[in-house]
Amino acid sequence: MGTQRRVSPLLAVLVVLIVIGIFGQIQQGALGLLIPVGLVAIVWLLYKFPPSRFMRGGSSRSAYQRAAVQSRKRQQARSEADKPKRRPTPFRVIEGNKNRDDDPPPYH
């Protein structure tokens, strides 16, 4: 079984008021409803298909891909640069002053 979705009371009241407003507008005359519907349609079309002059060199995805390629090239240039090889540093162990008993350490 699927989960049941409940409609919030605020959303239900809002939808009912919208439907009442639309029917009231239709009764008064459809010409008054034409302007808001036309404006909403124009805004939606501009959102879905923006004019080319507002585009900034392609989509944000392509800008991300260009930046990723440039970053990879920089990383390769850094790794390929001639770095002087370090000679291994000889480490030595300094003996401490702790007891060297074979007893396990006390935890409590």
> In this structure, what token pair is assigned to residue 91?
């480490």
pTM of the shown model: 0.32
Overall average pLDDT of the 37-61 stretch? 78
Q: How many helices (H) and strands (E) does the chain have?
A: 3, 0
What distance in Å separates the CA atoms of residue 73 and residue 81, rounded to the nearest whole number?
12
pLDDT reported for residue 17 = 93
Chain segment 12-38, per-residue pLDDT in tens: 999 999 889 888 888 887 777 788 888
Chain segment 58-70, per-residue pLDDT in tens: 556 678 888 899 9
Residue 108 has pLDDT above 70, yes or no: no
